[in-house]
Amino acid sequence: MMKRGRKVMTYDVKAPYDVHVGFGPMFELLSSLHTFICRKAYKKTDLSSGWAEQVRGKLSPGLSELLDSMEINADWKVIYGLVCMLSDEGGSDEVIDRLESRTARELHEQALAYGIPLSEDMEKLRSLALRLLPGWYEEYFRYTDANILIGLGQEAEQRNKEKDTYSTLEWVDRITNGFQFEPSDGLTRILLVPHYHFQPLNIIYRFGSLLLCHYSAGIYFQEDDFLSPQEYRMIRSLGEKSRLKILKYLHQSDAPRTFIEIVRHLKLSKGITHDHIFKLRASGFIHAHFDSETLLGYSSRLSAVNEIHSSILGYMERK
């Protein structure tokens, strides 16, 4: 149990919510859009360093200007929620048709029932989405390697087959590479969605009783017979003294630690500490504990130690 009056982060194998892994092409369209709009993450994804500029060079001036004006903010979350609400894991054509056929009033009422944060100008966001989604699909997403979507669908199918093998929390941990979703008021459903474009980062949005979490599918296309990007990331993440200190601190703590506690322990700046934690999180060496969308703290994840041992040994023995 946590001491000094801090909020306890549970480890109960039972979860008060239902978890499902789902995938449809529209989810990856959203993920790819999110990746392009989230400019601060360009250097953190597994895509090539020039991906964004290459895509921008193929876009029409109108769509490029529209995307440059967008940010990952409250309006984007509403658009994200509307698309998820209308998708039913379907294709882009169905979603766009439904979006066009609904009036702003109808969308407002559906969004209210779905738990989507309401916008003061739903018609404006509806019009924005109707420019954004078809444009992105026609100018970028339709040319996406079909193997990506096939792989994402297979990932979701395989994960759901494993559901009864583990407890809910263990299953979520394995899928997300270390997320722990604590009981949260009103949360009854978690939808885990594999994605490609934004890996190794995650997208987490709460809509009413539903928590939507995009996770890294571990799909890579590489020609050389080397470790996967995720396996190599795990090795590289340990090649820094401060990160090893973080792992030791979390492992020897009696409960998860907050970001500020880790900053104080390391006696480093918040920016440098944040970068260290990101690399450890992306590598799967630490758990991230959430209350809905809110990150509570971190704890050590010992299963990753066994994973890296297996990966290195497997590579050494590979013919």
**Average pLDDT, rounded, for the chain:** 90
- Supply the pLDDT for residue 14: 61
Asked if residue 11 has pLDDT above 80, the reply is no
- Supply the pLDDT for residue 25: 92
69 is written with which tokens?
């004006």
Neighbouring residues of 64: CB distance < 8 A, sequence distance ≥ 6: 56
Identify the band that residue 221 occupies on the pLDDT scale cut at 50, 70 and 90: confident
DSSP code of 38? -
265 class by beta-carbon count within 10 Å (0-12 exposed, 13-18 middle, 19+ buried): middle
Asked if residue 259 has pLDDT above 70, the reply is yes
Least confident of 6-15, 184-193, 271-280, 297-306: 6-15
pLDDT digits (tens, 9 = 90+) for 95-118: 888 888 888 888 888 888 888 887
Asked if residue 164 has pLDDT above 60, the reply is yes
**Average pLDDT rounded to a whole number, residues 169-196:** 95
Identify the band that residue 4 occupies on the pLDDT scale cut at 50, 70 and 90: very low
289 or 82: whose pLDDT is higher? 289
**Average pLDDT rounded to a whole number, residues 76-88:** 87
The domain segmentation of the chain, as residue ranges, is 18-216, 229-317
**Average pLDDT rounded to a whole number, residues 15-38:** 93
> Could you tell me what percent of the chain has a pLDDT over 70?
94
- Supply the pLDDT for residue 7: 38
Identify the band that residue 88 occupies on the pLDDT scale cut at 50, 70 and 90: low
**Contact (Cβ atoms closer than 8 angstroms) between residue 211 and residue 293:** yes
The sign of the CA dihedral 213, 37, 116, 157 is negative
| Kind plus residue range of the DSSP H or E element containing 194 | strand 189-195
User: For residue 68, which amino acid is it?
Assistant: D
Q: How far apart are CA 297 and CA 233, in angstroms?
A: 22
pLDDT digits (tens, 9 = 90+) for 288-300: 999 999 999 999 9
**Contact (Cβ atoms closer than 8 angstroms) between residue 295 and residue 288:** yes
Asked if residue 69 has pLDDT above 60, the reply is yes
- Supply the pLDDT for residue 2: 35
Stated pTM of the model: 0.91
Q: Where would I find the H helices in the chain?
A: 25-37, 51-56, 61-68, 74-87, 92-101, 104-114, 122-139, 146-161, 168-176, 229-237, 241-251, 259-266, 270-283, 303-317
Most confident of 62-71, 113-122, 220-229: 62-71
Neighbouring residues of 25: CB distance < 8 A, sequence distance ≥ 6: 91, 92, 149
- Supply the pLDDT for residue 318: 84
Q: What is the CATH number that goes with domain 229-317?
A: 1.10.10.10
Q: How far is CA 174 from the centre of its chain?
A: 14
232 is written with which tokens?
């190599």
Q: How far apart are CA 31 and CA 214, in angstroms?
A: 8
CB atoms within 10 A of CB 75: 17
47 is written with which tokens?
């895509």
